[in-house]
Structure 1
């Protein structure tokens, strides 16, 4: 009479959505649950006792990847191996994607058989592949758009620079030739000042378009941000201001184009100072790693950004400053993009500060894996 415990185990095994197959040490199939039969297109009763090679190795090409997994398990004799393999049913041209987990049945150090768990992940795998293609296409479109804008901006800047230079130069010549006290002097000076503004705009466009591709090097993350803070304070010292940076860095090394990324951090620190009323700007910088992503958060307690302006702050030429060109944050965004990263700016509203979040892929996945396992 079958024991109650055996009945419970049999019912649990049969109700699993995951396929379970047990192969004896002689290579014969000694157990199949219903899910395994459905996934592998086998008859649970008919195929018991068959050698697995007899069922699956019908020729050199059919389900070669699947068969190699079983061979690897036999040869390596390791517990808990997990593989992804293709498996094609008879009379089908579309392969499934199976997640296969393997283990061994042992007793007193003797191997009794091998256990395989099969999970059909075809839909999940296909969805992930579609998402990868969409993301890849979006990245390609974004890159194409940026390159197109760069070419257009360079061409426009070149065409604008020459006439602007001539206008400014002629305005200065006319101003010097006019007699003292002539009412036209003021008007000519306005022309000259506006020409200078246009020259500054053209220079900003050139600076944006000329951002080079980063040459990644491994640098100390802490030193990178401390040096950027020092550079920002050297600039602010001329107007009697400074930044006090509170750095919380749990990442030892970071791989970036050092000079380029230094420029981006300096720009963000100066931007925080520009929108803080006090002479001393408190800025919090947190650098952390999660899985294979390095996250940089730069937060200030300044004027903040109004909700209706927030979607536009990264747009080229957008500025709320009277004398601003509006290319600073655009340059930062492009530098981050060149590092395959993302940039996000958040603010609860006017007077409530701003947080800039940069996410960069960690190129050393083994390092990240080790960090997570520590």
Structure 2
């Protein structure tokens, strides 16, 4: 009569969904649980006592990778390793994906056999493959969108610049020929001002379409953001405003095209200032490694973004500013994309601030060090 402990062990082994197979040192199959029979499509009664080669090696090409793992463990004692291999069941159209882990069955330091654990990870493998395809497709669509915008930008710059310059020039020429008190001066001034707006739009579009490729190098995080802050404050100084930055980072260096990426950060800092009523804008910047990415979060506490507008802020020519041309954030988005990164913009709503997250791929080299905080 089996002992109580052996009954417990047998019930546990039978209840798990991981396949368990024990092969003796002579190569005979000594044990199979129900999960192993289901995963490997075996009949327990017909399989026990047979050599594993009789069951699995049916020809030279069928389940070659699976059989090689078993052979390596038996012949070369390569136990303790984990392998992911395809396993085809006859009659099935698509092979399964199995995770195989092996170990030794020992007693008093004597090897009695080999233990194999089989886990069917087909669903997980297929889900990961679908996710990779979706991510790849999204990246492809974003690249197509940016390339299409490049073409549009170049066309706009070419087709609009010359007529705009002529319109503005002719309006000024006519204005000089008229008396200052002539009623037409008002209309000519409006024409000239609108022509200047168009010239500004064309200049922004040309800057976007002529953006250089980033020259990637490792830059110090603290120094980089200090320089970006100084550049932004130099611009804001003209209108009597400024930005205070709280930088928290656990990453010492990031790999970016320094000058180009700095342009994006300055744009985001200026954007935070534009949508903060106070003369001094407080911006929190956090830089950290998250899994296999470097995440940069730029957080302001300004006016926030209306829910109905959040999906349009990256659209070209979309702007809520009276004198804006709507190319600032698209330009930032393109710079981030050129760095193989992603840009996310979130806002809880009006008066609740905005968080801009830049996600960059983490380089293979050691990129994280002990955290440091700069106030």
Q: Fold conserved (TM > 0.5)? A: yes
Question: Where do residues 3-152 of structure 1 align in structure 2 (5 Å cutoff)?
Answer: 3-74=3-74, 75=76, 77-79=78-80, 81-152=81-152
Q: Where do 1:123-272 residues align within 5 Å?
A: 123-272=123-272
Q: For residues 172 and 55 of structure 1, what CA distance do their matches in structure 2 show?
A: 93
Distance 1:221 1:57 in 2: 57
Q: Which runs of 5+ in 1 are unaligned?
A: none
Q: Per the alignment, do residues 143 and 239 of structure 1 end up closer, same or farther by CA in structure 2, a change over 3 Å counting?
A: same
Q: What are the equivalent positions in structure 2 for 1:255-334 lying under 5 Å apart?
A: 255-334=255-334
Change (3 A) 1:73 1:221: farther
Which structure ranks higher in relative contact order (CA pairs < 8 Å, sequence separation ≥ 6)? 2
**Alpha-carbon separation, structure 2, partners of 1:257 and 1:43:** 61
Aligned with 2:304: secondary structure?
A: coil
* TM-score, L = length of structure 1: 0.91
CA RMSD of aligned residues (A): 2.2
CA distance in 1, matches of 2:214, 2:100: 41
Q: CA deviation at 1:255?
A: 1.8
The structure-2 alpha-carbon separation of the partners of 1:52 and 1:362, relative to structure 1 and needing over 3 Å to count, comes to same
CA distance in 1, matches of 2:102, 2:367: 26
Could you tell me how far apart the structure 1 residues matched to 2:342 and 2:299 are? 16
Structure 2 CA distance for aligned equivalents of residues 78 and 327 of structure 1? 59
After alignment, is 195-204 or 90-99 more displaced? Answer: 90-99
Find the aligned partners of 1:25 and 1:268 in 2 and give their Cα distance: 67
Secondary structure of residue in 2 paired with 1:310: coil
Normalising by structure 2, what TM-score? 0.91
For residues 210 and 230 of structure 1, the distance between their equivalents in structure 2, rounded to whole angstroms, comes to 25
Deviates more, 1:236-245 or 1:189-198: 236-245
Deviation at 1:367, TM superposition (A): 4.2
Residues 218 and 114 (structure 1), Cα distance of their counterparts in 2 relative to 1, 3 Å cut:
farther
Name the CA distance, whole Å, in 1 between partners of 2:132 and 2:151: 28
Q: Deviations over 1:329-369 (max 9, x none)?
A: 111112222223222222222222221122222132x7489
Q: Give the conservation status (yes or no) of the 8 Å contact 2:19–2:118.
A: yes
Moved more, 222-231 or 191-200: 222-231
**Does 70-79 or 199-208 show the bigger shift?**
70-79
1:10, distance to aligned residue in structure 2 (A): 0.8
Number of aligned positions between the proteins: 369
Alpha-carbon contact 1:233-1:242 (below 8 Å) kept: yes
Distance 1:316 1:73 in 2: 60
Q: Is the 8 A contact 1:347 1:354 kept in 2?
A: yes
Q: Per-residue displacement from partner, 1:19-52 (whole Å, max 9, x unpaired)? A: 1111223332221111111111222122223232
Conserved in 2, the CA contact under 8 Å of 1:291 and 1:369? Answer: no
